[in-house]
Amino acid sequence: MKKLLFAAAAALVLATGLSACQTVVVQESAGEEDLTLRVVCQSPEVYQLYYTLYLDGEEYCQGGWGDIDGAPLTAQSDLTALFPQGYFEGRDLSGLAVDFSPYGEGDTREMATTPPVELHARYGGSYTILFTGDAEQGFAAQAQEE
C-alpha cells in the first residue's frame, strides 16, 4: 500500500477552502513528550478525512489525510498525526478534543462532521480513534482504550 503524505492532505485542505491554523510536523519517530493521534477508518467510500483539534473548547488547528493516488481510505491506511513536543506550547492537554469531517470521491464539501471526541490527553500520549459509519447512517468517531 502506498504511504499517505501529510503534505498532500495539507494541499487538499487548501484546495477545499479549509485553512490550517498551524502546520503539523510529521516525523518518523516520536519523542518522549510528543502526542500521537492515529485514526482507523472503517467507513467505506471515504477518500479524505479532515480533523479539527479543540483545546478547552476552542479551535486549535486542522489537518487531514488523503491517499496520494486518490484511493479510498481503509483500516490499513496510515492516518497518523504527530504533534511534536512544544506544539501545544506547554498548555494543559486534558481539555483536548477532536472532530472529523469525511469527504467522498470528488467531494468539495464534507459529508458530515462528527461530534468532538474528548481525548483527556497528556504529553507523550498516543490516542487511537475508530472512525465508522457511512453517509446514509451517519458517521461516528470513538476513542479506543490504549
Model confidence pLDDT, tens digit, residues 63-112: 999 999 999 999 999 999 999 989 999 999 999 999 999 999 999 999 99
Determine how many CB atoms are found less than 10 A away from the CB of residue 84. Answer: 15
- Give whole-number Cα distances, 104 to 11, 43, 81, in Å: 17, 10, 21
- Give whole-number Cα distances, 33 to 8, 121, 125, in Å: 26, 12, 8
pLDDT for 31 equals 65
- What span, in angstroms and rounded, lies between the C-alpha atoms of 75 and 18? 25
pLDDT for 77 equals 96
pLDDT for 145 equals 75
Instruction: Give the β-pairing of 48-55 and 35-41.
Output: unpaired
Q: Per-residue confidence at 53, pLDDT binned at 50, 70, 90?
A: very high
Q: Per-residue confidence at 42, pLDDT binned at 50, 70, 90?
A: very high
**Cα within 13 Å of Cα(124), Cβ side:** 2
Q: Exposed/middle/buried for 141, CB within 10 Å: 0-12, 13-18, 19+?
A: buried
Q: What is the pTM of this model?
A: 0.79
pLDDT for 72 equals 97
pLDDT for 94 equals 95
- What span, in angstroms and rounded, lies between the C-alpha atoms of 23 and 121? 20
Least confident of 9-13, 25-29, 50-54, 96-100: 9-13
